[in-house]
């Protein structure tokens, strides 16, 4: 790829919008997931009795469903990102390609 094409793509307002939106969205989702994971681990580390509480009359502790919920929520955050990447972000990428296709 030549330098002129790279500079034209970087100067495109749609490219700047794409980078800004994608970075912001990925950071928000990433921070959300990391806070969940670290809160779970720090709770286990500093107050394990909370996660060791029994649920009802059974032998399962409250830590297991919370851990499973974290994994499920992480899965859904990935699905949310993929849906947006294949929708809005892909549309912006295609618009950028259309803008610079004459340069190729």
pLDDT at 32 over 70: yes
pLDDT-based confidence at residue 8 (cuts at 50, 70, 90): confident
Query: pTM for this structure?
Result: 0.80
In order of 6, 41, 43, 80, the CA distances from 48 in angstroms are 53, 9, 6, 32
pLDDT at 27 over 90: yes
Give me the pLDDT at residue 1, please. 59
Give the whole-number percent of the chain exceeding pLDDT 70. 97
pLDDT-based confidence at residue 99 (cuts at 50, 70, 90): confident
Domain boundaries, the chain: 3-103
């Amino acid at each position: 790829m030549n330098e002129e094409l790279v500079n034209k793509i970087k100067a495109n307002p749609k490219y700047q919008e794409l980078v800004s939106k994608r970075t912001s969205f990925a950071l928000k989702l990433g921070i959300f997931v990391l806070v969940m994971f670290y809160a779970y681990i720090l709770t286990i580390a500093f107050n394990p009795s909370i996660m060791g509480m029994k649920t009802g009359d059974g032998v399962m502790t409250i830590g297991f469903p919370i851990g499973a919920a974290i994994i499920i929520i992480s899965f859904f955050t990935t699905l949310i990102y993929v849906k947006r990447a294949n929708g809005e972000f892909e549309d912006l990428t295609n618009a950028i390609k259309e803008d610079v296709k004459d340069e190729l």
